Structure 1
Amino acid sequence: MSFTVESVTAQEEACRLHSFDSNVAWEIGNIIRANAQQKYTRPVVIYIAHANSTQLLFFATSGPGTLPDNMHWVKRKEAVVLRWGCSTMRMRLTLQTKAKTLQEVYEMGDPSIYAVHGGGFPVKVKGVEGVVGVIVVSGLTQEDDHCVIVDSIQEYLARNP
């Protein structure tokens, strides 16, 4: 798939949920885990939390072999979603169109805190302003980290119209 700022923005809008609570997080997290197990041989970390308190709602790996470094990536991707309210893939593409790094555009864009690599995704709810949660996948290519989240949210929405 070819990613553009516009296509990823459209994905974010298409992935708005009807509601979000621990049951929704559990269901989406399990869909992500099953999809990651079916489509990829590399293990991933799956992390879903509330945006307002970063209360953890779902955490799992898709199998053995993840490393402590995966959690470092999770927290850095989460920081981007919570700070700028968009997916890490959209932020990455936005910066690429400007031919600039996060540090050049935002002076506080410390690379030890923020990671603009695909795999961080905002949870948004129809009729609610802003980000209510964050989903992060770490362990695949940044494109695959992003796609497994989007595909899984779309699968969840198809099951829960």
Structure 2
Amino acid sequence: MSTSLSEPPRDLNAITRVEQSWAIDLRTRLLEFPTPAVINISLANSNQLLFHSVTRSGTQPDNDSWVARKRATVLRWGFSTWYMHNKLAGDEAAFAAKYMLGDSAGQYAIHGGGFPIRVQGVEGIVGVIVVSGLKQEQDHQVIVETVEQYLAQQI
């Protein structure tokens, strides 16, 4: 592993572009879909919100409920909600029974669109990305493709 790093930008506009580019790229990618969607990025160790946006008018309060439920799933189990969905074949009753959720089952969602943010050298999840509003496969895959694109640009 190389210990040399390139010099970071010192121009405030350049710094801001780097810090905001990922979230904006995700929103731009979601604009291609005709269905309105919510994007939510938050820290894992608190409820601190880093980014929250909608792609167009037409989202409902229910979208924010899905955001909270997907986020809770990622934080509790440490995997994407799509992973949890496929682990249990999308069976919410089996999910609730396996983890003995009882009355708290409604606090979690095993539908795609919740994604953990990990940082190399840091233990655990540092943040959560959630997309809500598309089909669950699309909610998940738009995050994956945007992350892959972003990481490819960093090399």
Q: Which category describes the TM-score, using the shorter chain as reference length?
A: 0.7 to 0.9
| Superposition TM-score, scaled by structure 1 size | 0.79
Cα distance in 1 between the residues matched to 2:70 and 2:58: 20
Find the aligned partners of 1:55 and 1:158 in 2 and give their Cα distance.
Answer: 27
The question of whether the paired residues in 2 share the 8 Å contact of 1:88 and 1:117 is answered with: yes
Using the alignment, how far apart are the partners of 1:140 and 1:92 within structure 2? 16
Structure-1 residue corresponding to 2:131: 137
CA RMSD of aligned residues (A): 2.2
Verify the 8 A CA contact 1:79 1:114 in the aligned structure 2: yes
Q: Which residue of 2 aligns with 1:47?
A: 40
- Tell me how far apart the structure 2 counterparts of residues 23 and 157 of structure 1 sit (CA, whole Å): 16
Q: Alignment partner for residue 111 of structure 1, among 94, 105, 117?
A: 105
CA displacement at 1:28 relative to structure 2: 2.2
Post-superposition offset of 1:54:
2.2
Partner residue of 1:78 out of 53, 71, 82: 71
Identity fraction in percent? 47
CA displacement 1:36-58 (0-9 Å, x = unmatched): 112x1101000000001121000
Is 1:27 aligned with 2:21?
yes
Greater radius of gyration (CA): 2
The answer to whether the 8 A contact 1:25-1:57 is kept is no
Give the ranges of 4+ consecutive aligned residues of structure 1 lying more than 4 Å apart after TM superposition.
22-25, 97-100
Question: Structure with the greater relative contact order (CA < 8 A, sep ≥ 6): 1 or 2?
Answer: 1
Tell me, in whole angstroms, the C-alpha distance in 2 between the residues paired with 1:151 and 1:96.
23
Give the counterpart letter for 1:56 in structure 2. Answer: L
Q: Measured at CA, do residues 113 and 23 of structure 1 come closer, stay the same or move farther in structure 2, by a change above 3 Å?
A: farther
Structure 2 unmatched runs, 5+: 1-15
Equivalent residue, structure 1, for 2:85 = 92
List alignment gaps of at least 5 residues for structure 1.
1-21
| Residue equivalent to 2:62 | 69
1:126 & 1:63 partners in 2: Cα distance? 34
Deviations 1:110-160 (A, max 9, x none): 332000000000001112111000000000000000000001111111222
